[in-house]
Amino acid sequence: MNESSAEMRTRLTAWGVTPVGTGFSTPSSELMPGTRGGEAVMLKIALVEEEARGATLLEWWGGHGAARVLARTDRATLMVRATGSRDLTVMAAAGQDAAATAVLVQSALTLHERTPPSSGEVPLVALRDWFQVLLTTRSDDPVLRRAAERAERLLATTPPADVAVLHGDIHHGNVLDFGDRWAVIDPKGLIGHRAFDFANILCNPTETAALDNLAARLNTISRQASIDPVTLAEWTIAWCGLSLAWARGDAIPTWHARTARAVAELLLESLNDGSKSSGTFSIGA
């Protein structure tokens, strides 16, 4: 039995969890659905530092827009499990993209309501550190180069009023139906400009959905989150560049990488064309 499996067994017993079905693994964690005292729960064992940091942040949010943490150690987290039937990916594919986007935006806004914690209370990664792989990449790829230029400028000019504790990976699969509310799971634990938390929405949940709804989503998010559309577009370009920097060396681009490149190219072209008027943003104008 490996160390994480042993920890899983220890926590199941210590926290009185009865497994439901079978557990499963990801590259960064091991998970076991279960029940405790009649409540649906999920036990998660972190395999990497990023997951452990995210669990600390989930606990700090205290259920405010996030899955509620019931117990936690350095590596293990017991949280309420989502059992609702609604799915944002399904909604986006079924003609309800605007409704799904609104849920994602409100989820991020709810998280951002909390004042950043005092130093050391929660381990958070500054956006500049998160972007290092893009900022230090030397490439002839024009998308990477232009994304890095924008990221450097945005990171250097973030107004203090726009700094928030960030989830870092808001998308359709990380905001779940808990029955009476939507709540996030799997935060990365970042801090920086709040616009960063909306960029990934524009690149999900599929390549088709992202490209077909890009302009509508950008304008909707800009309005609902009170972020200038050009600022949101530039943060999205920076996010896309970061995604591409992470994917460098892949033999076959994933749909995530293809989408990031396509979204960045469309936004760069639109910014160059000055495709913004009357507070709205046009794509391919």
Q: What is the pLDDT of residue 52?
A: 95
For residue 75, give the 3-state DSSP assignment: coil
Unique residue bearing structure tokens 């870092």: 168
273 in catalytic set: no
For residues 5 and 23, what is the distance between their CA atoms, to the nearest angstrom? 10
* CATH 3.30.200.20 domain position(s) in the chain: 3-80
- Long-range interactions of 17-20: CB distance < 8 A, separation 24+: 17/41, 17/43, 17/78
Series of mean pLDDT values for 10-residue runs along the chain (285 residues): 87 98 94 98 97 97 98 97 98 97 98 91 96 95 97 98 98 97 98 98 97 97 97 98 94 95 97 70 66
| Selected catalytic residue, list 97, 169, 186, 197 | 169
Query: What backbone phi and psi angles, to 5 degrees, belong to 256?
Result: -60, -45
- Which pLDDT score is estimated for 225? 98
The predicted structure's pLDDT at residue 112: 98
**CA trace torsion 247, 107, 117, 70 (10° rounding):** -100
pLDDT of residue 59: 97
- pLDDT at position 50 is 95
The residue with tokens 């500049």 is 128
pLDDT of res. 120: 81
How are beta strands 182-184 and 280-281 bridged, if at all? unpaired
What pLDDT sits at residue 1? 58
Tokens of 62: 């205290």
**Domain spanning 88-281: which superfamily?**
Aminoglycoside phosphotransferase (APH), C-terminal lobe (3.90.1200.10)
Query: What letter does residue 47 receive in the DSSP assignment?
Result: S
Please give the helix or strand (H or E) that residue 24 lies within, else none.
strand 24-26
In the chain, residues under CATH classification 3.90.1200.10 are 88-281
Task: Could you please state the CATH topology (level 3) that the domain comprising 3-80 is classified under.
Answer: Phosphorylase Kinase; domain 1 (3.30.200)
